[in-house]
Amino acid sequence: IMEGNQCESSTVAENGNEAPDAVADVKKRCWDQREALPGEPHCVICGRYGEYICDETDDDICSLECKQTLLCRVARSQAPVGLSPSTRLPTTDECFYVRENDEKFNSQSLTNDQTELLRRKLKINVRGDLVPAPVLSFNSCNVPQKLLDNIEAAGYEMPTPVQMQAIPAALVGKSLLVSADTGSGKTASFLVPVIASCSNLNHEKFSNQKKPLSIVLTPTRELCIQVEEQAKLLAKGLPFKTALVVGGDPMAGQLHRINQGVGVIIATPGRLIDLLTKHDIELDNVSVLVLDEVDLMLQRGFHEQVIQIFQALSQPQVLMYSATISKEVEKMACSMVKGITVVSVGKPNKPNRAVKQMPIWVESKKKKQKLFDILLSKQHFMPPVVIFVGSRLGADLLSKAVAVTTGIKALSIHGEKPMKERREIIRSFLVGEVPVLVATGVLGRGIDLLGVRQVIVFDMPISIKEYVHQIGRASRLGEEGTAIVFVNEENKKIFPELVDILKSSGAPIPRELNSRYTKTTFPLGKGQKKRKHSS
């Protein structure tokens, strides 16, 4: 337990009342602390491992620095409130207002012209009827005060563009199809309205019932675990519990958790259907269904499972999210939910501009050596690094080759490994014990790999959508990252789309790719005319 540390000091110093030996082991700065693992306490200020408990507030904290920040916030919250109800945002032309203390204020206070101007500034595109204007602060959202406190404690100072638009739209009951960059804050943009609405329902209508109120579906176990961790952080102290329903964990424990009463079931579709088939779980109170990585969830093997779950519910509000949404997926979403509102932030289906793409033309036989050269280069190797490959066997073999050839610790992760082993691998990677992780597409979707600023695409995926997701792992909330991409003749089917992606991002295009792109004749479908691709 940490003892008193005064807010007035501008630097973190040892408290005079503490014994020197006791303070010596206490971490002073938040960056000295490691990231929290699943199930461990999170620092209420920065989200890292909450190793200590503040003696004055009983909150989990990671360091003296975060304790000081916490105490300053507590002191400010107890200070007299100023007279001015609004804060002007400094700007040279248009001015919007963030009204922190005016409970009557909401986004509808903006005129239509102001709303459209704000959306253009934030690169938000909206299609739908009576969609609320974006909010400029979380305080403008009609959510419980405890949720606002948790949002601030989690480190969210102001909403990202996707949160500004998606949260108010979801809170008024709109079904949404949302596309935004990887790492742009999409998870919080659906968790905030889910937690808010379910907490209110629990308080007003279902306080004595123990039926689930919402369901979040994601394609992978790892993504489910991450979503649940963030939900627990945001729902702390609210009448809102979570149940994680994924393969690899005992079903009996998952069933017991649901029967105790939960606000949300966070699940992979197959496991949830398995649970619903074998046990009697009432879903008639479920009012919100979230489909994360919806472009995957409405395709491949997930589609029938998702529709089966959707049809078991009674006309829920549906929130669908991804970084890449094709016209086909949009058509399927619109047929599934009538009157859906479509929200896109930035350029849809394009890579995160914070990721610097570095394509390299490498023949297949030379890719391993090129990888080893990069990993052994002090200039180019920036751990922790995720290397994406095309097969599970390839992941296992390449991770061993990296360890043997370079002496750098490397592990592989893919869907065939048991859940317990996958959790341990991610733990080792996040805490810095293993600087290189070789992965299949299991980590390409939605996973928030804190600290990763470099991705190496060793095997180019077969679709440009998967490429966009994979390189997006190198950036979180706009922080800059690098993606090194190996390209060769084997990837010629996606040359046109890849060149367009590289050009739109201002990335260099290898000479070999340029020459092949302009000279290769690509197979055409029926009724299509030949197009000339110019460099």
**Sign of the alpha-carbon torsion through 102, 107, 112, 116:** positive
Q: Residue 66 is part of which domain span? A: 30-74
- pTM for the complete prediction? 0.61
139 domain-assigned = yes
Q: What is the mean pLDDT of the chain?
A: 80
pLDDT at position 5 is: 43
Mean pLDDT value of segment 377-404: 91
What's residue 473's pLDDT? 77
Is there a domain that residue 165 lies in? yes
Same domain, 402 and 332: no
- Does the structure show a pLDDT above 80 at 395? yes
Whether residue 388 sits in one domain with residue 433: yes
Domain termination residue (choose one: 324, 345, 366)? 345
Give strand pairing partners of 387.
Answer: 438, 456
Model confidence pLDDT, tens digit, residues 368-390:
999 999 999 988 898 889 999 98
pLDDT tens per residue, range 406-461: 999 999 988 788 877 887 888 888 778 899 999 987 665 655 566 678 899 999 98
Same structural domain for residues 172 and 320? yes
Which value, to the nearest 10 degrees, does the dihedral of the CA atoms of residues 162, 168, 171, 176 take?
-50
Mean pLDDT within 351-361: 82
> Encoding tokens for residue 30?
């938040």
Specify whether 206 is located in the same domain as 266. Answer: yes
Same domain, 295 and 388: no
Q: Residues 173, 68: one domain?
A: no
What is the total count of domains within the chain?
Answer: 3
Mean pLDDT of the region 98-118 = 62
Q: Does 95 fall in a domain?
A: no
Same-domain check for residues 373 and 332: no
Question: In degrees rounded to 5, what are phi and psi of residue 500?
Answer: -60, -45
pLDDT digits (tens, 9 = 90+) for 144-174: 999 999 998 888 878 888 999 999 999 999 9
Residue 86 lies inside a defined structural domain of this protein: no
Output the pLDDT for position 518: 54
- Beta strands 264-267 and 176-179 are unpaired
Question: Distance between CA atoms of 19 and 24, rounded to whole angstroms?
Answer: 9
Query: pLDDT for 312-336, tens place per residue?
Result: 998 999 999 988 788 888 898 998 9
365, 321: one domain: no
Nearest to 154 by CA among 143, 144, 162, 146: 146
Q: Note the pLDDT of residue 127.
A: 92
Closest by CA position to 2, among listed 46, 68, 78: 68
Query: Rounded to an integer, what distance in angstroms lies between the CA atom of residue 1 and that of residue 52?
Result: 6
Give the residue with greater pLDDT, 349 vs 440. Answer: 440
Residues 183 and 316 in one domain: yes
Confidence check: pLDDT of 109 > 90? no
Q: What mean pLDDT do residues 244-261 have? A: 90
